[in-house]
């Protein structure tokens, strides 16, 4: 579930870059939306092709510093918005959108920044806000009930020890503010058996997903993209954990021609428009890429190509993942 890390030069290593480029074909020109600009790894490559334009989004305002430099170089071909990609439909352009890319999760600079507190290796206040957030991980740990915490850890972290960990948090917080290192201690004391992954991975994943509303962001992003992408355009998603991949796989399978008779889509949705899976199975990094950048091993790339121009009704995806979306509502009182 972790993102893309290259320790040598402090730069984010864009995962599956070659594969993404070969799917979206920027060499032929056109307008592309990079929904997760980060350090600009994908955008910079696309802009190397003289007829290509990029509209980029990132919720983290630190990305704007990198984007500003790119804007100086590519004035008319690059635009950056410090917004969440769930607002992708707010862009004002008459261009045909040839490709929309999502490289989900967090960047190297974000995981390395102790003030964001995404990593269980850091010490200090719990935070996890990537930008444009309403509440932090500390607000969750401090204010939600044991039952609510359990639900979050169980469904967003797929953590087997959710109940015990939640109870211990509620007990511990009566005496002191729970900092990152305290949460790690609670998890380590609860999960005594050896695990291959760091014991804190799942709980930290769950908190990050909730703090950044990652479920609704992804569902809205995909749903809006499917009606924004032009005829023959491609939507490509690189995901890092099983919940993201499950949502993406389901959505792409449903809208693709592989399942013409969908249980979720009205039949007439397919009269004028269909999507085709670029590949049935997800594309994963090569051994060479994993050797260069170990965290890329959990990356999965899925993509669909659109044919047709009519709008499709995407209500089915909100229905399918209603339960995960409902969990976000727990935070309405924060």
Binding residues (CB under 6 A) for ligand SAM: these are: 3-4, 12, 14, 36, 38-42, 57-60, 63, 84-85, 103, 105-107, 130-131, 212, 217
| Nearest approach, Cβ of residue 214 and ligand SAM (Å) | 7
| Number of helices and strands in the chain (H, E) | 15, 7
Shortest distance, position 12 Cβ to ligand SAM, whole Å:
4
Alpha carbons within 13 A on the beta-carbon side of 252: 23
The two beta strands, 30-34 and 52-57, are parallel
The residue with its CB nearest to ligand SAM is 41
Task: Give the three-state DSSP class for 54.
Answer: strand
Q: Is the Cβ of residue 19 or residue 217 nearer to ligand SAM in the bound state? A: 217
CB of 207 to ligand SAM, least distance (A): 15
Q: What span, in angstroms and rounded, lies between the C-alpha atoms of 38 and 195?
A: 31
Helical segments of the chain, H only: 17-24, 41-47, 62-73, 108-112, 137-143, 146-157, 162-172, 180-190, 201-211, 214-228, 242-255, 269-272, 287-292, 315-320, 322-328
CB of 267 to ligand SAM, least distance (A): 32
Output the smallest distance, CB 51 to ligand SAM, in A: 21
Closer by beta carbon to ligand SAM, 58 or else 139: 58
In this complex, which beta carbon is closest to ligand SAM, that of residue 84 or of residue 306?
A: 84
Helix segments in 83-200, DSSP class H:
108-112, 137-143, 146-157, 162-172, 180-190
Residue among 2 and 166 whose Cβ is closer to ligand SAM? 2
According to DSSP, the β-strands at 300-307 and 274-277 are antiparallel
Q: Given the complex with ligand SAM, which of 117 and 162 has the nearer CB atom?
A: 117
Q: Under a CB-based contact definition with an 8 Å cutoff, are residues 205 and 156 in contact? A: yes
In angstroms, give the least distance from the CB of 57 to ligand SAM.
Answer: 5
| C-alpha pair distances (Å), 308 with each of 101, 193, 249, 263, 264 | 20, 53, 21, 21, 19
Residue 141 CB, shortest distance to ligand SAM, in Å, is 21
106 vs 252, beta carbon nearer ligand SAM: 106
Q: How far is CA 132 from CA 59, 129, 136, 170, 180, in A?
A: 6, 8, 11, 28, 21
CB of 303 to ligand SAM, least distance (A): 15
At closest approach, how far in Å is the CB of 62 from ligand SAM?
A: 8
If the CB atoms of residues 41 and 157 are measured against ligand SAM, the closer one turns out to be 41
Closer residue to ligand SAM in complex, CB, 103/245: 103
CB 78 within 8 A of CB 56: yes
Residue 244 token pair: 């993201």
Q: What angle separates helix 146-157 from helix 201-211, to the nearest 10 degrees?
A: 100
Residue among 58 and 150 whose Cβ is closer to ligand SAM: 58
């Amino acid at each position: 579930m972790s993102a893309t890390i290259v320790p040598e030069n402090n730069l984010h290593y864009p995962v599956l870059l070659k594969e993404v480029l070969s799917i979206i074909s920027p060499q032929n020109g056109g307008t592309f939306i990079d929904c997760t600009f980060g350090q600009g790894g994908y955008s910079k490559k696309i802009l190397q092709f003289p007829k290509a334009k990029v509209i980029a989004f990132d919720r983290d305002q630190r990305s704007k510093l990198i984007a500003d430099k790119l804007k100086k170089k590519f004035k008319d071909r690059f635009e950056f918005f410090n917004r969440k990609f769930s607002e992708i439909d707010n862009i004002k352009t008459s261009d045909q959108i040839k490709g929309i890319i999502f490289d989900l999760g967090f960047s190297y600079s974000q995981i390395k920044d102790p003030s964001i507190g995404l990593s269980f290796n850091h010490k200090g206040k719990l935070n996890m806000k990537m930008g444009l957030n309403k509440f932090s991980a500390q607000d969750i740990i401090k204010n939600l009930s044991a039952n609510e915490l359990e639900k979050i850890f169980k469904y967003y972290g797929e953590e087997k020890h959710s109940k015990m960990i939640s109870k211990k948090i509620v007990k511990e917080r009566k005496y002191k503010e729970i900092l990152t290192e305290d949460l790690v201690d609670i998890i380590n004391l609860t999960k005594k058996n050896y695990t291959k992954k760091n014991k804190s991975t799942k709980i930290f994943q769950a908190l990050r997903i909730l703090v950044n509303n990652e479920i609704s962001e992804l569902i809205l992003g995909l749903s809006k993209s499917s009606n924004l992408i032009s005829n023959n355009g491609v939507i490509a998603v690189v995901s890092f954990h099983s919940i993201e991949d499950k949502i993406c796989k389901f959505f792409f399978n449903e809208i693709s021609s592989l399942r013409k008779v969908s249980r979720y889509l009205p039949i007439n949705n397919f009269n004028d428009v269909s999507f085709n899976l670029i590949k049935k199975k997800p594309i994963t990094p090569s051994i060479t890429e994993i050797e260069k950048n170990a965290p890329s091993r959990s990356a999965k790339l899925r993509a669909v190509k659109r044919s047709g121009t009519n709008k499709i009704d995407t209500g089915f995806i909100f229905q399918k993942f209603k339960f995960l979306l409902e969990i976000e509502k727990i935070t309405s009182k924060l």
